[in-house]
Structure 1
Amino acid sequence: MNSTWLEIIIPAPAFAVDLICHEMIELGSQGVTVEERQLDTFVMPDPDEHSPEHFHLKTYFPNADRAEQLKEQIAERLQALKTLMPNLPDIDIELHPICQQDWAEDWKQHFTTTRIGRRLVIKPTWEDFSAAPSDAVITLDPGMAFGTGTHDTTRLCLEALAQLFDQQPLQRVLDVGTGSGILAIAAAALGAQQVVACDIEPQSCLVAAENARLNGVDNRIQITDRALNELEDGFELVLANILAEENIRLAPELVSRLAPGGSLVLSGILVEKEQLVVDALRAFSLSGPNIYRTAEWSCLIYRKEA
């Protein structure tokens, strides 16, 4: 397949890499690499490895004829990030048209099947895997803009999700800011019968719908761009892998969507902003949080009082 894609190079300080990656996925990027190392892969970085202060992100988009539009959209996203990170410098990006075959096959060397918790397994399409009867297997293709699950914030959510399903079966799950749909699909694969996945980005909804179909769980996942306050309540589990400020802003709606005794999983939270979220959630009748951290990210798990 020789269709033309856009490779966009974004020089970024280390502190901004994760957030910029998140913004690119939201815009419809179908892959992001960092300094020749995969940012969101199944190969976890060595925690003792020296980390440079600056990286070059390479992000890939289909439809090379959208170059100018994408350049403007990326510039807007980077400018918006300055409200969260005032010390973010001005960034000049580079755009290069490339053929799909020049990069799509290179993804394969970075991915292998990985197990999360006792039952959840994520595997790329090109690998064979002999699943145990109890395994919940998600098959993915990074070329389909699928969040692969080992970016720190997504990995934290998947681990929390797997843990909660191990504790008891859950039937109704809400995934707020679904992105690629990986958390919603994992919930359905683990046994949830009704999953609502919402996202304000139309492109994310399209990608999530396709990924749900590819994994054969689209009949149990409702994907919507409706506002959170328009959705029903009574969910046994609510997931929100969004930024700390959004977790705080949406806290009343997130908590109100929970059934009594239900669990609330909040991620996308920088460790330095963890206390802000904890302080904000004290206003609600919740137990917890149990806090899990990796690198510079936190995941908070609460339970609503019965």
Structure 2
Amino acid sequence: MDDEWVEISVFTDEGGADIASALLIVIGCSGTSKEADEATGGVVVRGWLPSHENVVELIDWIYERMEVALKWGLTRKQAKINTHIVEQRHWLREWESELKPLMIGRSFLIVPMALKERVDSKLNEGRIIITLSAAGGFGTGHHPTTRMCLELMEEIKDEFIGADVLDVGCGSGILSIAAAKLGARSVLAVDIEESAIKCTMRNAIANGVDEKVRTMLSNLAESVYGRFHIIVSNLVTDLVQKLAMQISMKGLLSDERTAYWIASGIPTQRFDERAWRNELSKLGLQIARVAKEGFWVAFLAVKEVR
């Protein structure tokens, strides 16, 4: 049935929680939740996939990655993984119950759709409010990779005014909506998953920015043409590297003014700053800022006008 989903539960410790959450997102889970596991003294991280998915290989892959994390000392507890079938409304209710309004940086307040009418007015004073339902798309602001993207966007917020923006791997549309509310002239949001495209448009409409935000199915930027003043991307390491080549080969960053690329989703153990700086420099990009939170890295790269 279309409304049946597989719930994947990863039992780990606090050190492995962010890693488990990211791995669940990578395999296509639409949202994750985390709670204490009283039986083991650890935590359980849950994610959800449509029931028609063949999850056996995906679970094996997650287990292998968690074993690597254990080997490197990133977690101290061997992961255990369980699955069972749930109805979509069940996991959405559980996921939404975990969320609370979230302040990010000095500019943003992320509000779950279910709490839209109950936000304390003191919280939203002077902030850009982004209302989200992440059903079918990744990106609630609660994961470090998303938070760092928004914080880096805040650092160059004046550059968004009148800008054309590309959001690669849009997920829930949180970065697209943030760009639009920062004053972008247009935002093209792309994702390989149709569910993410639908989620982005649903959230864009709910936030009143649907006239600015366009969506497109695309494997990274393969189907994208044109030039953009700012590109934002919350991905994984290999896809960030592939996108860097696409940005360079296709000339996706504007030449008419200083252009920016914000990328996130790189584990700290895969970020050799000197190597990344050298490789991006060959593509005409200079890393201006590196952000780190927990096990994750994001960067802001600049393409100067020649």
TM-score, with length taken from structure 2:
0.76
Checking the alignment, whether the CA contact within 8 Å between 1:248 and 1:280 is kept in structure 2 is no
Q: Could you tell me which residue of structure 1 aligns to residue 209 of structure 2?
A: 217
Q: Could you tell me which residue of structure 2 aligns to residue 147 of structure 1?
A: 139
Q: Which amino acid aligns with 2:109?
A: V
Cα separation, 2, equivalents of 1:200 and 1:4: 22
Q: Does 1:137 align with 2:129?
A: yes
Q: Could you tell me which residue of structure 2 aligns to residue 74 of structure 1?
A: 58
Q: Which amino acid aligns with 1:128?
A: V
Q: Which runs of 5+ in 1 are unaligned?
A: 38-51
What does 1:4-83 align with in structure 2 at a 5 Å threshold? 6-11=6-11, 17-18=17-18, 20-25=20-25, 29-36=29-36, 56-61=44-49, 66=51, 69-72=53-56, 74-75=58-59, 78=62
Q: Could you tell me which residue of structure 1 aligns to residue 232 of structure 2?
A: 239
Checking the alignment, whether the CA contact within 8 Å between 1:8 and 1:93 is kept in structure 2 is yes
Cα separation, 2, equivalents of 1:242 and 1:144: 16
Q: Could you tell me which residue of structure 2 aligns to residue 251 of structure 1?
A: 244
Residues 146 and 286 of structure 1: CA distance in aligned 2, closer, same or farther (over 3 Å): closer
Q: Which amino acid aligns with 2:301?
A: Y
Report the CA distance between 1:85 and its aligned residue.
7.5
Helix, strand or coil at the partner of 1:8: strand
Cα separation, 2, equivalents of 1:202 and 1:27: 15
Deviations, residues 136-185 of structure 1 (Å, cap 9, x unaligned): 21112355655211201110001111221146624211111112221111
Report the CA distance between 1:302 and its aligned residue.
1.2
Cα separation, 2, equivalents of 1:295 and 1:85: 14
Residues 69 and 285 of structure 1: CA distance in aligned 2, closer, same or farther (over 3 Å): closer
**Residue among 82, 96, 118 paired with 2:106:** 118
Residues 147 and 73 of structure 1: CA distance in aligned 2, closer, same or farther (over 3 Å): farther
Cα separation, 1, equivalents of 2:44 and 2:147: 23
Q: Could you tell me which residue of structure 2 aligns to residue 44 of structure 1?
A: none
Residues 16 and 251 of structure 1: CA distance in aligned 2, closer, same or farther (over 3 Å): farther
Q: Which amino acid aligns with 1:209?
A: M
TM-score, with length taken from structure 1:
0.76
Q: Could you tell me which residue of structure 1 aligns to residue 119 of structure 2?
A: 128
Checking the alignment, whether the CA contact within 8 Å between 1:170 and 1:237 is kept in structure 2 is no
What does 1:63-212 align with in structure 2 at a 5 Å threshold? 66=51, 69-72=53-56, 74-75=58-59, 78=62, 93-98=81-86, 104-105=92-93, 107=95, 110-125=98-113, 126=115, 127-130=118-121, 131-132=124-125, 135-141=127-133, 145=137, 147-166=139-158, 169-212=161-204
Q: Which amino acid aligns with 2:236?
A: L
Q: Which runs of 5+ in 2 are unaligned?
A: 73-77
Report % sequence identity.
27
Residues 124 and 59 of structure 1: CA distance in aligned 2, closer, same or farther (over 3 Å): same
**Root-mean-square deviation over aligned CA pairs:** 3.6
Alignment size in residue pairs? 285
Report the CA distance between 1:267 and its aligned residue.
1.0
Helix, strand or coil at the partner of 1:36: strand
Q: Does 1:274 align with 2:267?
A: no
Cα separation, 1, equivalents of 2:162 and 2:105: 16
Q: Which amino acid aligns with 1:259?
A: S
> After the TM superposition, which of the residue ranges 72-81 and 260-269 deviates more from structure 2?
72-81
Q: Does 1:284 align with 2:283?
A: yes
Q: Which amino acid aligns with 1:294?
A: E
